[in-house]
A = this chain, B = another copy of it.
């Protein structure tokens, strides 16, 4: 007995260690987003976009701590008040009958996921969004919009009588192609729609004037940090070392990122006559976003295909949004929205009964049912995030103001909003 107890305690601690290490990796994705977005924007707006990304973690973590976590994984908010913890979060953390420390680890893991979702919008809204408005948006996303949909899809942990709607329907989004990425992507779409394009991007003669990011080395560092962090994001979503399934998930993640990047490389080569680094970087991210939902349930063939399709999709999606004049400086809507949608649907196509949860997708004899559920979940996510996002952005537009003035946009946000220059010596 004593031995078994000791063993089960060590197992719990090892699971918790893995969950926390994954949370640290996912935390580093904040740096990845910050650098990708900074690299893809112009020098005059670099400090501003860095500040927005940093603030997403500062404000987002606190909003999630005080409100979002309870909304997402409640509802037993009436239970006792733990030692020194704000009421709602403590209540949640204390009522679950698991060891205390596990609850803290789980909070951290969820909080960094929330930070990821919140930060996606900043890229699509770059170079023209007022800083105070952005902060309010970030708090609303982390504290409310993200956790509400998260609760539908993922809240099955603590209370079997109170599972999320999509959990009960069998919706599969293992690590968040929809819960995190598509939600973030559709919020980004809402932001870009309400803001309108940057000055000079779409010319009156119908042509697009590309606006180049100032530093592709920085963007590349960012993508590598995101890639690295994704090995916490996807494999870590096992939240346990049991059966070593994290290793299988890690391989699927690596394979999809490889085919995603490669597909984007070849497609851009075909379309533009040259392999374009911005497309390759977004192709890698597209593969990663797409494999996030199915990484636990597909085999390697599925992973390779899902990544490759995402890499093709992202290039055409970027072109498409420019055609309809939705200005997204970093491609966030295409990477996270479109490829998050694709990855979620792909579960319905490629889920293999020999992997993960044992569910079969369409190509493995599973019929249309799972695909239907995946489509339903995706539709709800789209309606919720775009709807709530439009309300939020329009609300901000007509109150505190969402977009900077024409003068500020031309001069750059760094000086006027922050009094900082990213590289002061270059302008001296």
Contact = CB atoms under 8 A, between A and B. Distances in A.
Which of A242, A280, A300 is packed against the most chain B CB atoms within 10 Å?
Answer: A300
Contacts of A298: 84
Interface residues of A, number: 121
Given A34-B224, A50-B216, A275-B51, A246 B83 contact: no
Contacts of A215: 217, 422-423
Contacts of A244: 12-13, 16-17, 99, 101-102, 104-105
A31 to B, nearest CB: 3
Q: Is the interface of A mostly helix, strand, loop or mixed?
A: helix
A111 interface: yes
B104 A251 contact: yes
A325 interface: no
Contacts of A140: none
A13 B13 contact: no
Given A4-B3, A7-B10, A254-B111, A216 B54 contact: no
Contact of A216 (B47, B225, B284): B47
B217 A83 contact: no
Nearest to A224: B31
Given A35-B217, A101-B247, A47 B277 contact: yes
Given A244-B102, A258-B57, A425 B43 contact: yes
A274 interface: yes
A221 B219 CA distance: 12
Question: How many chain copies does the complex carry?
Answer: 3
Contacts of A246: 16-17, 20, 101
Interface in A1-37: 2-4, 6-7, 10-14, 16-21, 23-25, 27-28, 30-31, 34-35
Interface string A236-275: 0000011111111011001101110110010000001111
Contacts of A154: none
Contacts of A126: none
A38 interface: yes
A141 B388 CA distance: 51
Nearest to A50: B220
Contacts of A352: 83-84
B275 A131 contact: yes
B31 A262 contact: no
Contacts of A245: 101
A408 interface: no
A276 B419 contact: yes
Contacts of A113: none
A397 interface: no
Given A102-B244, A420-B216, A422-B215, A107 B16 contact: no
Contacts of A259: 58, 62
A228 interface: yes
Which of A13, A43, A99 is packed against the most chain B CB atoms within 10 Å?
Answer: A13
Interface in A276-332: 276-278, 280-281, 284, 298-302, 304
A255 B86 CA distance: 12
A221 B35 contact: yes
